[in-house]
Structure 1
Amino acid sequence: MSLAKIFGVHAAQSALDYSPEKINQAWVDQKRQDERLQGLVKGLGQRGINIQKADRKQLDSLSKGANHQGIILEVEMPAMHSENDLKSVVESAKQVPFWLILDHVQDPHNLGACLRTADAAGVQGVIVTKDQAVGITPTVCKVASGAAETVPVYQVTNISRTIAWLKEQGVWIVGAAGEAEKTIYETDVNMPIALVMGAEEKGMRRLTREQCDFLVKIPMQGSVESLNVSVAAGVLIYEVFRQRLGA
Structure 2
Amino acid sequence: MEKTTQIYGIRAIIEAINANEALDKIFVQKGLKGDLFRELENLARKKGISISYVPVEKLNRLTKNNHQGVVANISPITFHNFEELVESVIQKKEAPLFLLLDQLSDVRNFGAIIRTAECTGVDGIIIQKKGAAPVTADTIKTSAGAAFKVPIAKVNHIKDAVHYLQASGVKIIAASEKTENTIYDVSFKEASAIIMGSEDVGISPSILKAADHTAKLPLLGEIESLNVSVACGVFLYEAVRQRLA
Give the TM-score normalised by the residue count of structure 1.
0.68
The structure-2 alpha-carbon separation of the partners of 1:84 and 1:191, relative to structure 1 and needing over 3 Å to count, comes to closer
Question: Any unmatched runs of 5+ in structure 1?
Answer: 6-62, 65-75
When the two chains are superposed, the root-mean-square deviation of aligned CA atoms in Å is: 2.3
What residue in structure 1 maps to residue 210 of structure 2? 211
Once the two structures are superposed, residues 167-223 of structure 1 have per-residue CA deviations (whole angstroms, 9 ceiling, x without a partner) of 011100000001211110222221110000011110000111011001000000111
What residue in structure 2 maps to residue 200 of structure 1? 199
8 Å contact kept, 1:80–1:136: no
1:3 is paired with a residue whose SS is coil
8 Å contact kept, 2:82–2:126: no
Once the two structures are superposed, residues 202-245 of structure 1 have per-residue CA deviations (whole angstroms, 9 ceiling, x without a partner) of 00001110110010000001111111111100000000001000
Q: What is the rounded CA distance, in whole Å, between the counterparts of 2:159 and 2:99 in structure 1?
A: 14
**Shift of residue 88, structure 1, vs aligned partner:** 3.9
8 Å contact kept, 2:102–2:204: yes
8 Å contact kept, 1:98–1:123: yes
What residue in structure 1 maps to residue 24 of structure 2? none
Q: What is the rounded CA distance, in whole Å, between the counterparts of 1:205 and 1:90 in structure 2?
A: 26
Matches within 5 A, 1:68-147: 77-147=76-146
1:175 is paired with a residue whose SS is strand
Matches within 5 A, 1:212-231: 212-231=211-230
Q: What is the rounded CA distance, in whole Å, between the counterparts of 1:94 and 1:185 in structure 2?
A: 24
What residue in structure 2 maps to residue 178 of structure 1? 177
The structure-2 alpha-carbon separation of the partners of 1:91 and 1:239, relative to structure 1 and needing over 3 Å to count, comes to closer
8 Å contact kept, 1:190–1:240: yes
What residue in structure 1 maps to residue 5 of structure 2? 4
Once the two structures are superposed, residues 140-166 of structure 1 have per-residue CA deviations (whole angstroms, 9 ceiling, x without a partner) of 000000101111111000111111010
Q: What is the rounded CA distance, in whole Å, between the counterparts of 1:131 and 1:138 in structure 2?
A: 19
Residue 162 in 1 paired to residue 198 in 2? no
Give the TM-score normalised by the residue count of structure 2.
0.68
Once the two structures are superposed, residues 23-82 of structure 1 have per-residue CA deviations (whole angstroms, 9 ceiling, x without a partner) of xxxxxxxxxxxxxxxxxxxxxxxxxxxxxxxxxxxxxxxx99xxxxxxxxxxx8221223
What residue in structure 2 maps to residue 72 of structure 1? none
8 Å contact kept, 2:107–2:138: yes
Q: What is the rounded CA distance, in whole Å, between the counterparts of 2:95 and 2:134 in structure 1?
A: 26
What residue in structure 2 maps to residue 33 of structure 1? none
Q: What is the rounded CA distance, in whole Å, between the counterparts of 2:86 and 2:213 in structure 1?
A: 23
Question: Any unmatched runs of 5+ in structure 2?
Answer: 7-62, 65-74
Once the two structures are superposed, residues 86-110 of structure 1 have per-residue CA deviations (whole angstroms, 9 ceiling, x without a partner) of 3443453334210000001010011
What residue in structure 2 maps to residue 189 of structure 1? 188
Higher deviation after alignment, 182-191 or 154-163:
182-191
For 2:188, the aligned partner's letter is V
Size of the aligned set, in residue pairs, is 180
**Shift of residue 83, structure 1, vs aligned partner:** 2.7
